[in-house]
Structure 1
Amino acid sequence: MATSADDSGRKVVRHEAHSAEMLGGFHKMRQSKTLCDVTLWAEVSEKPFAVHKTVLASTSEYFSVMFTCGMREIDQDDIYLHGITLAGLSTVLDFVYTSELPVSMETIQDVVCAASHLQISSALALCETFLRDEISLDNCLYVMNLCNTFGLKQLAKEATDFVAKMFQDLVQKKSDQILDLTWEEFLPILQNNKLNASELQIFQTVVQWVEYEREVRVYEAKFLLEAVRFPLMTWEELHNEVLTTPFVLRDKEAHNRVATGFSYHSTPLMHHLCQSPDSQVRADTESLVIMGGWMDEGRTAEVLFLNDTLEVPDWARLANMPVARAWHTVVMMDNFVYVLGGFAKGVLCASGLRYDPRFNSWMKIADMWEKRFFPGVTWEGKILALAGSGLGKDTAEVETYTPDEDRWNPGTPLPRATHGHAAVVFHNKIYISGGRSSETPNLAALTDLYTYDPDSNTVVHKRHMKHRRKGHAMCALQGRLYVLGGGEIAPAECYDPYQDLWWTIPGLEGLGRVSAAVMKDFIYFLPEESVQVEYFDIDTGERTRTKPMPIKRFGAVCPVFLSEHFKLKTQHYYVFL
């Protein structure tokens, strides 16, 4: 018994078991065929089902339209349901009258077909729950195809993701199921960003599929090869494995696809101009990466990433930088990571490196004109080194790097020599905040915020921060700027560019020098004296710690797309590839 009040203030007493009792009453009436007013027949079946129109219309959109919109069946005593099996109809009707859905993997297709045809959404939802719970290596391809057949879009996506994750096991243990797929069924798997296989393994599986029924499938191979990302193979794989495949050599379209891979590898410095869907890492979300930095023992070349494919995300390793480095800046462009300046081999340097997550490899780029540590940003396809600290003095100079030319050129200087400042591109403007300048009295940290346009050589000063900061981080998220760290007790602040206003964010005090980046709508940050990266939810104000790093360090954090295949095989810190 439950009570509530209606709009007029009257007390409403509710019997919570009434609905179940009423449904039970209808079920008994159906069993005894009392007051049943229509008979349903499944396709190719001699078993009748006596039911009540009112009950059907209340639970099925199909029957609701049939019995209320003047269709001819409204006056018929017998209704024949084509395309619905006896098992499917019987199970769905049991659900309608009892709210219970007896189902197994042997009957699920019949039940989904009946529930879909009769538009009984609650029964379909239970079928989806059952399939989600029962999906396994043995049946995942069947579940995926079933969901696609009956338009269960969300579950079809989940099933395809499951197949993609289990792809290597399927190829090794259930290859017959892969080979039995039509090209239309196979294609979404090959297009999936979670596909757990190297591009060479993907190509080899396509070849096996073609050879299984060569006479027919050699003409369908072109559709599947469209999903193979040849630029993500090594030059040796393309030359030794792909070009030795007979049908690739004979098919002009296939040969042209392979040529894109060779073209990509022929000009490494031109990669920014050659980006396409084929050159993108198979990943839907970014992973947090820490590039080098300081450890108690000194500088480190080690590169870590937070592996979110594990039940509890843990740290694992990427390829080390060629040289240990700290106080460097990290800039992202086209999912390449540029590591610039800072200290290497014990001295301030002007050198730069580019990390390519497609091949987990490093490449040296041209040196800057000045040795320095500084903040950097990307701007109109170029990288800008913004002022910073050089050999014993601060600088206001700006340098611009053009990737396809591998060249640094002088840019328009900042208003004054500064180091320890932060910069971020936001709404097509470069925002610069804080820092310290030898031009200011007592070398005090600054509260400045201004926009800098290197094209028009204009600087527009904005409202100052509430707290002095240097060595802080600045991020753009959801239409606002956030600054954190850079002071022993300074709390984080948020800036609204439309109102030109700052306000304090509680809960992020005392961070000191900090490195930060935005990923998945959170601000991830690494304080200098911490062994843990944390992330901050700007909506709830909650701070959450990630798993501690194996060794304490203070490095530059950045979000990078890493392939699911790479993350799955590089599980933990002590697994090094």
Structure 2
Amino acid sequence: LSAPESEGLMCDILLKVKENEFPAHKSLLACSSDYFRAMFKSYTKESKASVIHLQVISSMGLQHILDFIYTSWLPLSFESLEDTLEAASYLQVTEAIGLCNQYIVNNLTLENCCFSANVATKFYLPDALAATEKYIISNLWRLLDLDFTGLLELNFRSLMAVVESDVSKVNESCLLNLVMMWLKHDKSRLTLRSSLLEQIRYGLIPVEDLRKVYTQSEVPLPDRLQHHNMCVIGNFLYVLGGEIESSQSETKTDPSFSVTSGVHRYDPRFNKWAQITGMLEKRCQFSCCVLGNNIFAIGGRGENGSLHSSVEVYNITRDRWTKVVELPCKIHGHASTVCKNTIYLSGGKSTEQTNTSKDVYSLTTVEGILCTGTVHICCIKTLC
């Protein structure tokens, strides 16, 4: 049957993939493919068409499937496997899919097993997937030396199968290192970290190895800052406001700075900085402290030397800044601390002063303002 197709004899349909044309016979296509069988039924528009455009599959994949339809022989190699499976799946040629499945099972090697697992997962070939995962688990100790890059490209399901199994000749330290490297290889995988890391048996890993895995190199802030503030909540480091070095500075010896409202958070688990919702006002030389799940940003200096008396609060659960009751005066360069759910402010300079202030302010959970002498008690209700 290959001669009529290759010579275009008595062909009644032309299949087109981009610029490539493939003459064929509707009757043979309909007998071999559920896709074409449905397409060429009498009530469809395509049944009257002389040309069918196939946009999804590749020319190579279609050629292989046509060869199989006309000769019952399917040319397969690992280089063309994905194209062939894509065409067979799209055109619903189930016999060709079965042959691809068997080809993977019968031709597994150290060089192609990770690729085969990904292909089997992508096209849902359960027999091939089970065989490839069993092969990877049995030969993991070899793959860690020979094809570590292939392991980093392995799909999540297959890696989970590896981590969950009792892998011989591979210690738990190597498994942990593999998981950490796999997560770092693609940032989108970080959402899967809990599922993988829960499978590691940390009790079997020497303390020295754990320290090596979790010891991170220094990661600089995204911007150069001065006169900023910092605090810690839930083992996350927050860096708030400050003056950021301008990229348009004329000289490195005398850089220019501008006040920022930006906030960055450092995650020690992944050794990375992330920018989060910024403050409502630009601030430097201000104070910040933590009360419950809230970060208080208090006073400080804004743009063009203007001073702030405002206080704003960041709720980490809601990822939102809110302004609360202001201080009695504008102040910057002060210090703050927390004691028994009360924030105490001391020192700094206000608009009326040339010397450092000796006033003390306290922010508590009671609403109202009370001023007595040189001691100001400013009470602000804590946000939930």
Q: Structure 2 length normalisation: TM-score?
A: 0.51
Alignment of 1:142-221 (within 5 A): 142-181=115-154, 183=156, 186-192=159-165, 197-210=170-183, 220-221=192-193
Letter matched to residue 83 of structure 1? V
**2:197 corresponds to 1:222:** no
Cross-structure match for 1:39? 14
Offset at residue 228 of structure 1 (A): 2.0
Offset at residue 197 of structure 1 (A): 2.6
- Per-residue deviation, residues 159-193 of structure 1 (Å, max 9, x unmatched): 11111111111111211222344656633432345
Distance in 2 (alpha carbons) for counterparts of 1:62 and 1:226: 43
Cross-structure match for 1:98? 71
- The answer as to whether partners of 2:102 and 2:128 remain within 8 angstroms in 1 is no
Distance in 1 (alpha carbons) for counterparts of 2:142 and 2:235: 31
Q: Structure 1's 189 and 81: CA in aligned 2 closer, same or farther, altered over 3 A?
A: farther
Alignment of 1:324-335 (within 5 A): none
User: Of 15, 32, 35, which residue of structure 2 is paired with 1:59?
Assistant: 32
Cross-structure match for 1:262? none
Q: Structure 1's 151 and 217: CA in aligned 2 closer, same or farther, altered over 3 A?
A: closer
Q: Structure 1's 100 and 244: CA in aligned 2 closer, same or farther, altered over 3 A?
A: closer
- The answer as to whether partners of 1:164 and 1:196 remain within 8 angstroms in 2 is no
Letter matched to residue 37 of structure 2? S
Offset at residue 201 of structure 1 (A): 2.4
Cross-structure match for 1:108? 81
Offset at residue 207 of structure 1 (A): 2.9
Letter matched to residue 32 of structure 1? E
Letter matched to residue 157 of structure 1? A
Distance in 2 (alpha carbons) for counterparts of 1:250 and 1:138: 42
Q: Structure 1's 247 and 193: CA in aligned 2 closer, same or farther, altered over 3 A?
A: same
Q: Give the secondary-structure state (helix, strand or coil) at the position aligned to 1:93.
A: helix
Alignment of 1:118-133 (within 5 A): 118-133=91-106
Q: Structure 1's 195 and 41: CA in aligned 2 closer, same or farther, altered over 3 A?
A: farther
Q: Structure 1's 206 and 250: CA in aligned 2 closer, same or farther, altered over 3 A?
A: farther
Alignment of 1:363-378 (within 5 A): none
Letter matched to residue 35 of structure 1? M
Aligned length: 222
Offset at residue 209 of structure 1 (A): 3.2
Distance in 2 (alpha carbons) for counterparts of 1:189 and 1:128: 21
Task: Give the fraction of aligned pairs with identical amino acids, expressed as a percent.
Answer: 25
Distance in 1 (alpha carbons) for counterparts of 2:130 and 2:109: 15
Q: Structure 1's 216 and 35: CA in aligned 2 closer, same or farther, altered over 3 A?
A: closer
Q: Structure 1's 138 and 228: CA in aligned 2 closer, same or farther, altered over 3 A?
A: same
Higher relative contact order (CA 8 A, sep 6+): 1
Cross-structure match for 1:573? none
Cross-structure match for 2:372? none
Offset at residue 220 of structure 1 (A): 4.6
Alignment of 1:440-451 (within 5 A): none
Q: Give the secondary-structure state (helix, strand or coil) at the position aligned to 2:75.
A: coil
- Per-residue deviation, residues 191-246 of structure 1 (Å, max 9, x unmatched): 34567633332112223334556x7766653232123244xx43xx3544336643
Of 239-248 and 57-66, more deviation after overlay is shown by 239-248
Q: Structure 1's 168 and 217: CA in aligned 2 closer, same or farther, altered over 3 A?
A: same
Distance in 1 (alpha carbons) for counterparts of 2:46 and 2:194: 49
Q: Structure 1's 176 and 117: CA in aligned 2 closer, same or farther, altered over 3 A?
A: same
Cross-structure match for 1:271? none
Cross-structure match for 2:260? none
Q: Give the secondary-structure state (helix, strand or coil) at the position aligned to 1:68.
A: coil
Offset at residue 123 of structure 1 (A): 1.4
Distance in 2 (alpha carbons) for counterparts of 1:59 and 1:219: 42
Letter matched to residue 198 of structure 2? E
Distance in 1 (alpha carbons) for counterparts of 2:155 and 2:101: 24
Q: Structure 1's 224 and 62: CA in aligned 2 closer, same or farther, altered over 3 A?
A: same
Q: Give the secondary-structure state (helix, strand or coil) at the position aligned to 2:40.
A: helix
Letter matched to residue 121 of structure 1? T
Q: Structure 1's 221 and 52: CA in aligned 2 closer, same or farther, altered over 3 A?
A: same
Cross-structure match for 2:43? 70
- The answer as to whether partners of 2:13 and 2:25 remain within 8 angstroms in 1 is yes
Distance in 1 (alpha carbons) for counterparts of 2:188 and 2:77: 35
Distance in 2 (alpha carbons) for counterparts of 1:168 and 1:148: 23
Distance in 2 (alpha carbons) for counterparts of 1:110 and 1:182: 19
Q: Structure 1's 193 and 125: CA in aligned 2 closer, same or farther, altered over 3 A?
A: farther
Q: Give the secondary-structure state (helix, strand or coil) at the position aligned to 1:88.
A: helix
Q: Structure 1's 98 and 194: CA in aligned 2 closer, same or farther, altered over 3 A?
A: farther
Distance in 2 (alpha carbons) for counterparts of 1:211 and 1:83: 32
- The answer as to whether partners of 1:183 and 1:223 remain within 8 angstroms in 2 is no
**2:214 corresponds to 1:242:** no
Letter matched to residue 132 of structure 1? V
Unaligned runs of 5+ in 2: 217-233, 237-266, 270-384
Distance in 2 (alpha carbons) for counterparts of 1:99 and 1:216: 42
- The answer as to whether partners of 1:91 and 1:111 remain within 8 angstroms in 2 is yes
- The answer as to whether partners of 1:161 and 1:192 remain within 8 angstroms in 2 is no
Distance in 2 (alpha carbons) for counterparts of 1:70 and 1:191: 52
Letter matched to residue 40 of structure 1? L
Q: Structure 1 length normalisation: TM-score?
A: 0.35
Q: Give the secondary-structure state (helix, strand or coil) at the position aligned to 2:23.
A: strand
- The answer as to whether partners of 2:140 and 2:167 remain within 8 angstroms in 1 is no
Distance in 2 (alpha carbons) for counterparts of 1:211 and 1:99: 45
Offset at residue 37 of structure 1 (A): 1.4
- The answer as to whether partners of 2:177 and 2:213 remain within 8 angstroms in 1 is no
Q: Give the secondary-structure state (helix, strand or coil) at the position aligned to 1:203.
A: helix
- Per-residue deviation, residues 53-91 of structure 1 (Å, max 9, x unmatched): 111111111111222373321111111112111111011
Cross-structure match for 2:5? 30
Offset at residue 145 of structure 1 (A): 0.3
Larger Rg: 2
Offset at residue 134 of structure 1 (A): 2.0
Cross-structure match for 1:327? none
Letter matched to residue 144 of structure 2? V
Q: Structure 1's 31 and 206: CA in aligned 2 closer, same or farther, altered over 3 A?
A: closer
- The answer as to whether partners of 1:53 and 1:67 remain within 8 angstroms in 2 is yes
Letter matched to residue 225 of structure 1? L
Distance in 1 (alpha carbons) for counterparts of 2:171 and 2:31: 51
